[in-house]
Amino acid sequence: MLEKLAIEGGTPVRQKLLPYGRQSIDEADIAAVVAVLRSDWLTTGPNVGGFERAFAEFVGAKEAVAVNSGTAALHAAYHALGIGPGDEVIVPAMTFAATANAVLYQGGTPVFADVERDTLLLDPADVAARITPRTRAIAAVDYAGQPCDYDALRALADAHGLALVADACHAPGANYRGRAVGTLADLSTFSFHPVKHLTTAEGGMITTDDAELARRMRSFRNHGITTDHRQREERGSWAYEMVELGYNYRLSDLQCALGSSQLKKLSGWVARRQAIAARYSEAFSSSELLSPLRVQPGVSHGYHLYVIRLNLARLIADRAAVYSALRAEGIGVNVHYIPVHLHPFYQQRPGNAPGLCPVAEAAYHEILSLPIFPAMTDDDAESVIRAVGKVLEAFRKN
């Protein structure tokens, strides 16, 4: 006999909602922040460079530039590449809006490309079809934590003289064919929002092996000024020069101290995410009602998200009904993402009509992100598995 769904008055699997993601903060993190509060430098101080060096070393890049959000990281990357009016940047339709928005900040045009059905990663074949003489860069998104096909994308970029940007906000600690995320593109961007792998409350980072691009981004994050307050203090000078139009995208010492403390635990957190994902994949491997996204050979997945795709042909409910039923069971599922070109803002721009990226558009109606974060217990994971089974069996077509 089927269990009565909580949304219909039954007993929920969980009494307290399990979120899809959340930060982990321990006493070492708190102590690191308190130490900065007791110091002379709350911003533009030594913790900024320390965090940058530690992060660059972690991913194996020569340079890392800290900024105050993942969006700022994308903006700084596009600025460093010289993206401007008349330039096009190819971005996947299945991503958070910031990947495309930051192109517009520079006066460029985001061109949406479709994704592969079984991974929801940027489809190199569709990218190739959308390259024009105005294309300046390709922005790949490591959706859910899985690196894109960087060999194929690099070949395309090199053949057409394009820059390759990695929106790696989902994937710190992941790797592709033995190469770490953060080293796979000309510029790689990261986010330190609380639901991501490590947090600075809000924050971001760009990694690169190009010292000139790093220099441009450091100026850009500081109003376009060539020195910061601490550098002038060390020189005993008041003078500074603004050489270009920049923004205040600085990340404070408080946040960098937190980031440095969190970074020490990142490898263990990635391993825990992978363990939870393995438990999910085993539980769902034989299901007729859903399918997890495919993991490509030779990839170590970072699992910012664990995304399932509903087999709606075998269900009497749509994704919205499944979403509501799982939330009622205490499972904080989410949806990542509405294809960017379908947002009202982008619908007002030429060329972004429905049907532009049919694979991403179809996936949007079928996907759900399940809870996954390092502090989850095995019992938490089992409650997710139980709730998914309970809800989908209740909605199974006879």
Pairing of strands 163-167, 187-191: parallel
- Taking alpha carbons only, the member of 167, 32, 179 closest to residue 91 is 167
Q: What is the DSSP string of 285-339?
A: TT-SSEEEPPPPTTEE---S-EEEEE-GGGBSS-HHHHHHHHHHTTB--B-----
Q: Retrieve residue 177's tokens.
A: 């064919």
Lookup: tokens for 393 = 């069996």
3-state secondary structure of 147: coil
* Three-state SS at 112: strand
Q: Among this protein's residues, is 196 annotated catalytic?
A: yes
Record the tokens describing residue 293, joined without a space: 């996204």
Cα 229 to Cα 19: distance, rounded to the nearest angstrom: 40
197: nearest Cα among 268, 256, 253 = 268
Q: Which of 62, 196, 264, 397 is catalytic?
A: 196
Structural contact between residues 191 and 167, judged by C-beta atoms closer than 8 angstroms: no
Closest CA to 62 of 191, 212, 169: 212
Query: Looking up tokens 């709350």, which residue turns up?
Result: 42
Give catalytic residue positions: 196
